């Protein structure tokens, strides 16, 4: 297989985007295993434990000789109910041609299970048009890319930190945060998982993004349990934090999982004071097992090694 898609193949795929929805250029997904079908049934009626996989900062080279191809195979091996992509899904600019040539041939194999959010690289294309065109209805363009859904006993919230909250605002009085408050009011006592691209705190090269902390505060005050982010190209897990960012025994848990396939980076110093686990220079995914009132986690490398694990941890 050639490393780069041919121009004619890309042109043909682009032509399809005008007529196919919701995932205009993604290949069909297989029916999947009996185990995943049973998990999906449990997800539909709110019973049992379900498994989701999350990672961001994914595709920056053409398969098959790139890390995104290896992490995609790990996703296939885990066989989750949902796949959460936490932004910078496609480099360098998130153009639809780049998605077709690269992402579509790796993580694009899971269109029905994928629930994406964009990152700052998608916004290098004006208004993230390539991202919204590629993912179609699943990207929720009409709501500026933020939305929610239920899986198993959990309520899951996908938020949009865009290019550091400049294109889509994240402030306390923004439309997005006001929508988040209303959405959490309707969660009906479910455990809550939220994900977006920029981490509120990080020991990585970029560091934390204060602009997203209003979203953290609303979640922490309204029953949030877990937040998953990317942006820094490493894996990091933190001790529980309260709404103000200080240590709290019954606070929310945050993960940075910018390990989906893009170039990996080292941590900066000093490390965040609540950082509890840091893994640099390893591609992998976060596997979350979501139970009725608890969750467990594993960071699984592309090769299948578990380098961090925990749980079950009770919901707040």
pLDDT value of position 61: 86
pLDDT value of position 207: 94
- 20-29, 50-59, 237-246, 269-278: lowest mean pLDDT where? 20-29
Provide the percentage of residues in the chain whose pLDDT is more than 70. 85
| 3-class state of residue 143 by DSSP | helix
Q: Which residues contact 186 (CB under 8 A, 6 or more apart)?
A: none
Give the C-alpha distances (Å, rounded to integers) separating 14 from 33, 69, 131. 31, 22, 13
Return d(Cα 277, Cα 279) in angstroms, integer: 7
**pLDDT over 70 at 5, yes or no:** no
**Domain limits of the chain?**
7-314
| 3-class state of residue 310 by DSSP | strand
- 150-159, 221-230, 267-276: lowest mean pLDDT where? 267-276
Give tens-digit pLDDT for 290-300. 999 999 999 99
Give tens-digit pLDDT for 171-195. 999 999 999 999 999 988 899 999 9
- In order, the DSSP letters of 267-302 are PPSSPPTTEEEEE-S--EEEEEEE-SSEEEEEEEET
Q: What is the homologous superfamily of the domain 7-314 according to CATH?
A: Metallo-dependent phosphatases (3.60.21.10)
Measured distance between the N- and C-terminal CA atoms of the chain, rounded to whole angstroms:
49
Residue bearing the bigger pLDDT, 64 or 247: 247
Return d(Cα 59, Cα 105) in angstroms, integer: 10
**pLDDT over 70 at 23, yes or no:** no
The counts of H helices and E strands in the chain are 7, 13
Longest dimension (CA), the chain: 56
Q: Which of 46, 183, 25, 45 is nearest to 104 (CA)?
A: 25
Q: What is the dihedral of CA 1, 300, 98, 65, to 10 degrees?
A: -30
**pLDDT over 50 at 24, yes or no:** no
- The pLDDT confidence band at residue 47, using thresholds 50, 70 and 90, is low
pLDDT value of position 21: 32
pLDDT value of position 269: 80
Return d(Cα 71, Cα 117) in angstroms, integer: 18
Distance of CA 73 to the CA centre of its chain: 17
- The pLDDT confidence band at residue 148, using thresholds 50, 70 and 90, is very high
Residue 168 near residue 161, CB atoms below 8 Å:
yes
Return d(Cα 213, Cα 221) in angstroms, integer: 12
Q: Residue 37 — φ and ψ, nearest 5°?
A: -65, -40
Return d(Cα 100, Cα 90) in angstroms, integer: 10
pTM over 0.75: yes
Strand order in the sheet with 294-301: 114-117, 82-86, 50-55, 284-290, 294-301, 306-314
Q: Which of 116, 70, 54, 94 is nearest to 258 (CA)?
A: 54
Give tens-digit pLDDT for 54-94. 999 999 988 878 999 999 999 999 999 999 999 999 999 99
Residue 154 near residue 290, CB atoms below 8 Å:
yes
pLDDT value of position 201: 97
- Stretch 260-282: mean pLDDT, rounded? 93
CA atoms within a 13 Å half-sphere pointing along the CA-CB vector of 284: 22
- The pLDDT confidence band at residue 29, using thresholds 50, 70 and 90, is low
Number of residues in the chain: 316
Residue 212 near residue 170, CB atoms below 8 Å:
yes
Residue bearing the bigger pLDDT, 8 or 157: 157
């Amino acid at each position: 297989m050639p490393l780069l898609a041919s121009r004619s193949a890309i042109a043909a795929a682009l032509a399809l985007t005008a007529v196919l929805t919701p995932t205009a250029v993604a290949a069909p997904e297989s029916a999947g295993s009996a185990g995943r079908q049973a998990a999906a049934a449990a997800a539909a009626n709110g019973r049992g434990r379900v498994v989701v996989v999350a990672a961001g900062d994914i595709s920056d080279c053409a398969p098959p000789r790139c890390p995104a191809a290896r992490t995609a195979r790990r996703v296939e091996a885990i066989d989750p109910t949902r796949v959460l992509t936490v932004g910078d899904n496609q480099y360098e600019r998130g153009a639809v041609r780049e998605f077709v040539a690269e992402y579509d041939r790796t993580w694009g194999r899971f269109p029905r299970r994928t629930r994406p959010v964009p990152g700052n690289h998608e916004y290098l294309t004006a208004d993230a048009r390539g991202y919204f065109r590629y993912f179609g209805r699943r990207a929720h363009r009409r709501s500026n890319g933020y939305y929610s859904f239920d899986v198993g006993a959990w309520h899951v919230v996908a938020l949009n930190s865009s290019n550091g909250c400049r294109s889509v605002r994240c402030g306390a009085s923004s439309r997005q945060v006001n929508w988040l408050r209303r959405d959490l009011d309707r969660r009906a006592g479910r455990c809550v998982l939220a994900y977006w691209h920029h981490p509120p705190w990080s020991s990585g090269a970029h560091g934390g993004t204060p602009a997203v902390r209003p979203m953290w505060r609303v979640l922490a005050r309204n029953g949030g349990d877990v937040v998953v982010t990317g942006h820094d190209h490493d894996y990091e897990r933190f001790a529980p934090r309260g709404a103000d960012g200080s240590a709290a025994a019954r606070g929310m848990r945050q993960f940075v999982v910018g390990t989906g396939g893009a170039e990996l980076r080292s941590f900066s110093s000093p490390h965040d004071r609540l950082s509890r686990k840091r893994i640099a220079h390893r591609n992998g995914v976060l596997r979350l097992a979501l139970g009725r009132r608890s969750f467990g986690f594993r960071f699984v490398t592309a090769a299948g090694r578990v380098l961090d694990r925990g749980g079950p941890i009770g919901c707040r």
